[in-house]
Structure 1
Amino acid sequence: MQRSDVTRTDGTWVGLSLDVRERRRPGLAVFVAAGSRMLLSQLSRPVLLAVVDEPLQGVDFWRTDAYHSCVPPLRADLARALAGDVERWAHRFMRYLVDAPDSPLHEGRWLLTRESALLPWRYADISHAEYWTSMLVEGHPDGYLDWYLHACSWEVLPLRPMPDADDGRVKAYRKQARDGTLPPVLLWWVSGLDCHLVLDGHARLAAAIAESVEPPLLELHRTVPRDDLVARTEDAVAFYEAELARFAALRAVHGPTVPDGAALAGPQLARLIDELSTARPPTCAWPLPGGVSRWDEAAREVTGGMCWPRG
């Protein structure tokens, strides 16, 4: 597996990319049946069942208690050694994801990035605690992801109930939250749900909320395959060169009052290349073996035969 740092054209570190090979089916996988039904399964254990409602305004979900983090418990001495360095944590978390048989990784190119889409949405006049509390999806075992109210703001769905502020693990993390050494919360962007799932760090997120500080984040999602990235980068460069040639032709006719085009085409090229390196294709999903009948069977098993979703 090929791992490499991803930087913007100005040299800013964005995240860590990983080319995964020979892993056709992940241990933590999204399955679909009849379009509107989804099942998140971890090593054949149902973790989350979901149904997209008919007007496409949201998702009913049922969360089981079967999820196990693909990241081993993080020791306090490790947190002190990495001292809140998100870049170093990214390398550590990527190693955990590669080694874990129950992680979401499968064949393709992945990005583990510090630049979550959640970060720009907090307004300056609300606290970190208010913002992150509002982004957490409530409900256990069942709840609703509201696409209408949260369009493009992309909520955070924990894969197990969030611990209380006085939970022992949360108390241990609150000091790290205050002194800036809190390990990042690991999120996984799932396009079919239009939200982020918490893969690891439920207690760390609860600690950040309790202390009203910005939780450090690392977000995992698929990105453009390397071969496609090379081809699309070449297309962007060709467009840049064509624009410079067009401006040169205009200058030849109208004189030096016409700009050379670099001030316009250059930033556009840089933006295109940056966007390509961090692009977010849809999350892969697999047809559920057995289709709707298997999904219905799983729903009966995890809900104890309850009528769900409630129509």
Structure 2
Amino acid sequence: MQRSDVTRDDGTWVGLSLDVQDRHQPGLCVFSAGPRLLVSRLSRPVLLAVVDEQLEGVDFWRTDEYRSFVPPLRADVGRALAGSPERWAHRFAQYLIDSPDSPLHEGRWLLSRESPLRRWRHADTSHAEHWSSMLVDGHPDGYIDWFFHSHSWEVLPLRPMPDADDSRVKAYRKQAREGTLPPVLLWWVSGLDCHLILDGHARLAAAIAESVDPPLLQLHRTVPRDDLAARINEAVGFYENELARFAELRAVHGPTVPDGAATAGPQLVRLLHDLNTAEQPTWAWPLPGGEGQWRRIAREVTAGQDWP
């Protein structure tokens, strides 16, 4: 795996780009059978989901099979890496590539400190209220509401959230107060239009209990390397065409017309930045056996209950 830092034009660190090769199918994998999805961990069902016919949301059933591939994070490590999302990103990247049950597969990914989840908090809403409202309720079953929470990028835990008096949460609450809380690792899955918590359920619970903004690292696919060169050429071509258009206008109307660099230049910068940061749809593999197999798995994990 090749890693490279992604920064803005002012040098601000955005995230870590991961170029993964020779990993054809991940251990934590999304399978599809029409409108039905299955997230499995090393062939064991973690989450079943059905997109409703009106495309207004997703019914889900969560099993108890998910286990994080990230080892327990010691408090002294949290203190050593506090305030350094770059170092945390490299650490989590190593866990992602070393583990056989992470969601990484070949292609380009971004492990980013930035997330649209923060943009939805109103100034008069506390961190506790905001992050509590972002959590999708329900265990073992529930509903991701696309109609009410359109594009709000909710957070779906892969196991029940621990209570505020849980021993792990209590330990993390102290770190949250000190500002040494390790990041919560999220994975954006386009088929659910929400984030799954890969690691950090107790850390998020601690941040909510202390009403602090939790540090985040968000994982998502970006433009694949096969398309990258063509997309860069398109962006550069757009820039050159804009300069040529302004040159024609200057030839007709004189030097009072700007040369276009002041507008086309920043547009080019944004386009190139998006190639390294913009979310790409999550890959889903066809489920062997199709809908029939999905239904058999659903009957097994729900013990024959009438779901959805």
TM range (shorter): over 0.9
Match of 1:70 in 2: 69
* TM-score, with length taken from structure 2: 0.98
**What SS is found at the alignment partner of 1:248?**
helix
Match of 2:115 in 1: 116
| Equivalent runs, 1:97-176 vs 2, <5 Å | 97-176=96-175
**What SS is found at the alignment partner of 2:188?**
strand
Take 1:238 and 1:12, find their aligned partners in 2: how far apart are those partners? 27
- Which amino acid in 1 is paired with 2:189? V
Give 1:280 shift. Answer: 1.0
- Which amino acid in 2 is paired with 1:132? W
What per-residue deviation string (whole Å, max 9, x for no partner) do you get for residues 220-278 of structure 1?
A: 01111224223212221221122112212221221121111111111111111111111
Aligned-pair Cα RMSD in Å: 1.0
Match of 2:81 in 1: 82
Match of 1:302 in 2: 301
Instruction: List structure 1 segments (4+ residues) > 2 angstroms apart after TM superposition.
Output: none
Take 1:228 and 1:242, find their aligned partners in 2: how far apart are those partners? 21
Take 1:159 and 1:185, find their aligned partners in 2: how far apart are those partners? 13
Give 1:183 shift. Answer: 0.4
**What SS is found at the alignment partner of 2:271?**
helix
Is 1:32 the counterpart of 2:11? The answer is no
Match of 1:244 in 2: 243
Match of 1:216 in 2: 215
Q: 1:48 to 1:184 in 2, by over 3 A?
A: same
Give 1:9 shift. Answer: 2.2
**What SS is found at the alignment partner of 1:46?**
strand
Give 1:158 shift. Answer: 0.2
What per-residue deviation string (whole Å, max 9, x for no partner) do you get for residues 171-194 of structure 1?
A: 101111111111000000000001
What per-residue deviation string (whole Å, max 9, x for no partner) do you get for residues 118-158 of structure 1?
A: 11111111000000000000000000000000111011000
Take 1:77 and 1:229, find their aligned partners in 2: how far apart are those partners? 40
Match of 1:20 in 2: 20
Count residues with an aligned counterpart: 308
Report the more deviating stretch, 273-282 or 194-203.
273-282
Contact 2:75/2:175, CA 8 A, preserved across alignment: no
Match of 1:7 in 2: 7
- Which amino acid in 1 is paired with 2:282? T
Report the more deviating stretch, 221-230 or 116-125.
221-230
- Which amino acid in 2 is paired with 1:46? P
- Which amino acid in 2 is paired with 1:131? H
Match of 1:288 in 2: 287
Contact 1:17/1:112, CA 8 A, preserved across alignment: yes
The gaps in structure 1 that reach 5 residues or longer are: none
What per-residue deviation string (whole Å, max 9, x for no partner) do you get for residues 28-68 of structure 1?
A: 000111x1111100001100011111111011100000001
